[in-house]
Amino acid sequence: MKNLKYCCFPQSVEEAVKLLSDKKHKSIAVAGGTLIAKSIGDSIEQYVDIRYLPLKYIKVSGGDLIIGALCAFDEIDDNPFAKKWASGVLSKAAAKCSSQLIRNMATIGGNIAKPHSFNIFPALLCALNAKVKVAFLKGVKTYPIEDIYNKDFPYKLGFDSIITEIIIPAYIKNCAANYEKFSKTQSCWESYASCAFSVLMIKGKVEKPRVIIGSLSPKPIRLEAAEGIISNQKLSSKIIEEAMEAFIGNLDILKLSGIGIDFKKEVACIMFKRFLTGLAEDKI
């Protein structure tokens, strides 16, 4: 941060993206700043503080759940919509993020804009089939959340654009969902493995399953082969075992590496089995 020269406090989203897009200075947007403030490079000259933008709300619109990007983890944890939507998974997951001080500051927008293996919301929001609204110099566009992690995504979030809203579709409200992580403590930010799941149960059959892995990669990983095994099926022990085999097969194909990767994959598989077993026993 030794070359930082300017600190700006925009009053609107339009003003914020205009400041970020100004070629005179290399800028960065910061809200809670719990992670990004530790890694601001020396090339940054302008700090665009977006904490005061009107993006702190949680509401239902057209049946969808809308979360403003500046909502802190603690606000999501305490929100009545978050406690009811998709088995209350948003509230439960938000409560598992680090210390109370961090939960008071860290924002959902920042958590997904700067992907990290241990961030909670990238994996969870992928499991909830969420979309994100992105503001840039020439307007606003909505993308499936997976798109912002693709290498061909046209914007660099926090540098030339910002996330303004997260949109969770209406059908997710009645889904069975879970976010689980394995770490030294439930409040520890670092985790060995984390998973997020959602399914819609219709007449005892699994519909619209989404199986997402976090922790093993900075970007969330969707395991579509495992989803395919359980889709349109009743969860018998045979189907669960087949789904677990597909789950491990998905991970093996990805050729993930790192310290303890085999152990982490095994833990993730156990999480998946526990979720499916809970569904089969009607405990989720």
Whether the predicted model's global pTM rises above the 0.85 cut? yes
The 10s digit of each residue's pLDDT in 193-247 is 899 999 999 999 999 999 999 988 889 999 999 999 999 999 999 999 999 999 9
Determine how β-strand 27-30 pairs with β-strand 46-49.
parallel
Residues 1 and 3: their CA atoms lie apart, in Å, by 6
Closest residue by Cα to residue 195 from 110, 98, 124: 124
Determine how β-strand 131-136 pairs with β-strand 58-61.
unpaired
Please state the three-class secondary structure of 117-171 as a single string.
CCCCHHHHHHHCCCEEEEEECCEEEEEEHHHHHCCCCCCCECCCEEEEEEEECHH
- Residue pair 95/23 in contact (Cβ under 8 Å)? The answer is no
The predicted pLDDT at position 101 comes to: 77
Residues 53 and 218: their CA atoms lie apart, in Å, by 28
Closest residue by Cα to residue 121 from 69, 159, 162: 69
CATH of domain 58-166: 3.30.465.10
Sequence-ordered list of residues with C-beta below 8 angstroms from that of 83, at least 6 positions apart, any chain: 91
Q: Spelled out in words, what is the top-level CATH class assigned to the domain 176-280?
A: alpha beta
Helix or strand (DSSP H, E) at 227 = helix 224-230
The 10s digit of each residue's pLDDT in 14-39 is 999 999 998 888 889 988 777 666 66
Residues 219 and 104: their CA atoms lie apart, in Å, by 24
The 10s digit of each residue's pLDDT in 96-140 is 877 777 788 899 999 999 878 889 999 999 999 999 999 999 999
Domain locations in the chain? Answer: 6-49, 58-166, 176-280
Percent of the chain with pLDDT over 90: 69
